[in-house]
Amino acid sequence: MTPAPFAVADEELALLTDLYQLTMLQAYWAEGMEERATFSLFFRRLPPGRRFMLACGQQYAAELATRLRFREHHLKRLAGTGLFEEAFLAWLGAWRFRGDIWTLPEGTPVFANQPFMEVEAPIAEAQLLESLVMNLVQLETVLASKAVRVVLAARGRPVVDFGMRRMHGIDAAVRGVRAYRTAGLEGTSNVLGGLRHDLPLRGTMAHSYILAHDDEREAFHAFARRYPGTTLLVDTHDTLAGVRKVIDLMAEAPETGIGAIRLDSGDLGQLARESRALLDAAGHPEVKIVASSGLDEWQIAALLEEGAPIDVFGVGTEMGASSDAPVIDLSYKLVEYAGTPRLKHSPGKVNPPGRKQLFRRYDEVGRYAGDTLALRGEPGIPGEPLLRPLVRGGEVTREEMALAAGARERVQEALARLPAALRELDPGDAGYPVALSPGLDALVRTL
Amino acid sequence: MTPAPFAVADEELALLTDLYQLTMLQAYWAEGMEERATFSLFFRRLPPGRRFMLACGQQYAAELATRLRFREHHLKRLAGTGLFEEAFLAWLGAWRFRGDIWTLPEGTPVFANQPFMEVEAPIAEAQLLESLVMNLVQLETVLASKAVRVVLAARGRPVVDFGMRRMHGIDAAVRGVRAYRTAGLEGTSNVLGGLRHDLPLRGTMAHSYILAHDDEREAFHAFARRYPGTTLLVDTHDTLAGVRKVIDLMAEAPETGIGAIRLDSGDLGQLARESRALLDAAGHPEVKIVASSGLDEWQIAALLEEGAPIDVFGVGTEMGASSDAPVIDLSYKLVEYAGTPRLKHSPGKVNPPGRKQLFRRYDEVGRYAGDTLALRGEPGIPGEPLLRPLVRGGEVTREEMALAAGARERVQEALARLPAALRELDPGDAGYPVALSPGLDALVRTL
């Protein structure tokens, strides 16, 4: 018996959708509904405590959209549900995305009701992207938006991702590193994620390595001789005793050139101060202190506030699932069909109708001054138009992809240009001005 | 240029690990440390508000462990890091897991400090599994443990997963359905997940389908004629007006046999009552009411408490990332090496040492009465031994795999046998008695 696969292969991704997308597609097909539709991807509300999100994953999702295909064996499995006509399945076998996708460049700060992405295509093409695109964009946006808070809290000190084991499955762990790279992390412990998404690999040692040796000193010696400049984990038995063993080791074997010690339990601020004092007194100001152990942006801020001499933060659990805000209220809504703007009226929900463009204005020193959400092509709107046509006629536009590169650098620049209050962990009542253009405002009123 | 793959292929999974696992492996290899080690997988604390978790994913992870291999191209990529000797990489190319894995059967309720899994192998084999096993087991355990709360809250009414778009990436979405199946969900909207993990596919329609038509009535007619017995989404414009259109449709076209209406916004309890009254008055008690819209276990319980006539719950966002408890404090700790029990002493953390067995006792009517965590092979412990040897010498034991099947049925049985207080959404101070055996207690004291 051939074992069933564990991971999901690229060629299966067309099937990673909600059933209603396929039943709606069959209905559109049967009804002859082939007009162009525009769907807009946005979130209605920021998660509590957040004042911006980093839009991430939309380029990746757009590129994937151009590659989705239904294979013969997919169609057979769909036929087995009894819901689909043979002629429709044949049509689905020829389905491909031939439309346009406009996106914000990855790493752009976004606010409520701003489109990350607008998808324009015959309705059956644009509709089918909904579930997968939302899944893909949500993951990276959630993770990058959490990670950038951790980066801000660390005030320039390197932050390293240690979270692979606590992230939600294989894809989150690997694509998460892509989001972390965008957000400005310095490195990752995740081998496949780091290799694939070009973030430097970092690692120290585990308690198990110490415990497998008959004593800590022996473990330190063996590891340090093999990996000169390494980081030694000092808290397995008694942290300060561990630090003293590291100091002794450097005296006995200076060639090991210990790079850092890692603290992974206890009062990190106090232990960092005491460890720093021991190291400095022994003439080792060059040995850095790495701290880990359930850290999040608040704890990092508190540690730095109290003056803890920590040089590098290893962050896992809390960042890996964005524990305080693991989902965003993302929507992918029909905003135009057959040239007519569409609007859902249900209580408490308004979807800005029509094809749109997002304009961002800057003040005299280049800081964000406010945004205007406008109709696509509406003249006279001040500011920089942020949505760019990444996919045209089902093909990724090479020039646009080149323009969209550099998400990590874009985030660094954007952080400097965000109003200062929005960069605070707790921004209080600070908001960001987003206006509707005259054209969009008039359209909303008409509908 | 061949496009880079999106998803992670099975054959890459050996690389999905933390860097320190590989540097520790090289150190073990260089030091000639080849003795057998036992690692134990457990969590230290239940998430706030939870009184049990469903252990899930450990069979899947154990089976995957037996298939992990490093390919030539993996070794080349590792060589590129500059951290590894050629002779070690050759050894890694021959690495495979040849040890034993004991697991709780999937779907077993577990409590703090109880091993889901114990892995026994030469240390380099058992160590390498840590990161991937934790990632895999965490996902399914978190999702199944959340989903079972939703199932309990629905008091026998079917719960359907609508969460694919809000889950953390591709793997979470697909394996999540496996966890949902175990937890007792009735169906899923997720096509690939449902097909792969054998949970019935369910779907209704989206607002976009309604909005793409010139009016709601036309959309209802088209969809219902194509899918007799379908569920119609009635809240796009005005919910009760939508219900009246459904009633008119059934009068005009009785052959459509509408199965249900779906409410997706507004005051679901009130709208359900009003919709039920309209449907009943029109002679349609057979038309069911499906409710969705950001539901979690608390909202479902409140709706049923107020008597809302809802027949089926569609649940997505909150369940999809287990928003209130997206991670568990899972550990994979060395508990024995070379025949000697090992224990980490850091403040506030105790890892029960040694190879263990978990015994569960039942009262006269079969309810769980309490557990005893004991040393493996310790005689005279009352109760049923729950850890089973799923993998022996690197091979999955066929008989054990057969015994471990039926996780969904196991959960249903377990829910009936759990002390009643633990099944409450808010169990207050209710706990579950877990004792250490005399042998384990003595060992903890000695160390």
pLDDT of residue B430: 81
pLDDT (mean) for A85-114: 97
Residue B193: closest CA among chain A residues belongs to which residue? A16
Cβ contact, residue pair B172, A174, below 8 Å: no
Identify from B11, B137, B207, B211 which residue to disrupt to test chain A contact, counting A C-beta atoms within 10 A and taking the largest count. Answer: B211
The count of domains in chain A is 2
Quick one: closest CA in B to A240, which residue?
A: B346
Determine the average pLDDT of the residues in B310-327.
96
For residue B201, being part of any structural domain is answered with: yes
- Of B253, B260, B187, B259, the closest CA to residue B229 belongs to B259
Q: Tell me, what's the pLDDT at B1?
A: 44
Query: Rounded CA gap, B75 and B85, in Å?
Result: 11
| Local structure of residue B126 (DSSP, 8 states) | H
Residue B347 has pLDDT above 70, yes or no: no
B3, B7, B334 ranked by CB distance to A171: nearest:
B7
pTM: 0.97
Q: What is the 3-state secondary structure (H, E, C) of chain A?
A: CCCCCCCCCHHHHHHCCEHHHHHHHHHHHHHCCCCEEEEEEEECCCCCCCCCEEECCHHHHHHHHCCCCCCHHHHHHHHCCCCCCHHHHHHHHCCCCCCEEEECCCCEEECCCCCCEEEEEEHHHHHHCHHHHHHHHHHHHHHHHHHHHHHHHCCCCCEEECCHHHCCHHHHHHHHHHHHHHHCCCEECEHHHHHHHCCCECCCCCHHHHHHCCCHHHHHHHHHHHCCCCEEECCCCCHHHHHHHHHHHHHHCHHHCCCEEEECCCCHHHHHHHHHHHHHHCCCCCCEEEECCCCCHHHHHHHHHCCCCCCEEEECHHHHCCCCCCCCCEEEEEEEECCEECCCCCCCCCCCCCCEEEEEEECCCCCEEEEEEEECCCCCCCCEECCEEEEECCEECHHHHHHHCCHHHHHHHHHHHCCHHHHCCCCCCCCCCEEECHHHHHHHHHC
| Interchain proximity A24–B205, CB inside 8 Å | yes
What is the 3-state secondary structure of A358-410? Answer: EEEEECCCCCEEEEEEEECCCCCCCCEECCEEEEECCEECHHHHHHHCCHHHH
Domain closes at, from B254, B285, B320: B320
Choose the weakest-confidence range: A233-237, A382-386, A424-428, B382-386: A424-428
Residue B1 lies in a domain: no
Do A209 and A354 fall into the same domain? no
Domain boundary among B320, B342, B364: B320
With a pLDDT cut of 70, the percent of chain B lying above it is: 98
Interface test with A, best of B18, B45, B174 (most A CBs within 10 A): B18
Domain shared by A240 and A315, yes or no: yes
A203 and B20 within 8 Å at the Cβ level: the answer is yes
Q: Would you mind telling me the total number of residues written for chain B in this entry?
A: 447
pLDDT for position B359: 98
Average pLDDT over residues B384-406: 94
At A330, which CATH number? 3.20.140.10
pLDDT higher than threshold 50 for residue A1: no
- Per the CB < 8 Å rule, is A130 touching B206? yes
**Residue B4 belongs to some domain of the structure:** no
Query: Are A65 and A199 found together in one domain?
Result: no
Report which of B333, B371, B352, B361 is spatially closest to residue B442, judged by C-alpha positions: B352
- Tell me which chain A residues have a C-beta less than 8 angstroms from the C-beta of B238: 345
Domain membership flag for residue B2: no
CATH code of the domain containing B314? 3.20.20.70
pLDDT band at B6; cut points 50, 70, 90: confident
How far is residue A334's CA from residue A328's CA, in Å, rounded to a whole number? 19
Task: Let me know whether B197 and B274 are in one domain.
Answer: yes
Do B305 and B158 share a structural domain? yes
DSSP state letter for B189: S
Verify that B115 and B209 share a domain, yes or no.
Answer: no
Do both B162 and B289 map to the same domain? yes
- Is A233 within a domain? yes
For residues A301 and A355, membership in a common domain is answered with no
Q: Is residue B246 part of a domain?
A: yes
Q: Which residues contact A130 (CB under 8 A, 6 or more apart)?
A: A17, A18, A21, A39, A332, B165, B206, B208
Co-location of A222 and A344 in the same domain: no
Residue B162 has pLDDT above 70, yes or no: yes
Asked if the structure places residue A426 within a domain, the reply is yes
Residue B216 with chain A: CB contacts under 8 Å: none
Q: What is the pLDDT of residues A184-205, one digit of tens each?
A: 999 999 999 999 999 999 998 9
Mean pLDDT over B122-137 rounds to: 98
Q: What is the pLDDT of residues B32-48, one digit of tens each?
A: 999 999 999 999 999 99
Q: Tell me the residue range of the domain where A442 lies.
A: 10-141+325-446
C-beta atoms of B18 and A345 within 8 A? no
Same domain, A164 and A269: yes
Query: Is residue B161 domain-shared with residue B252, that is, in the same domain?
Result: yes
Domain boundary among B289, B320, B351: B320
A345 in the same domain as A258: no
Tell me if A280 is assigned to some domain. yes
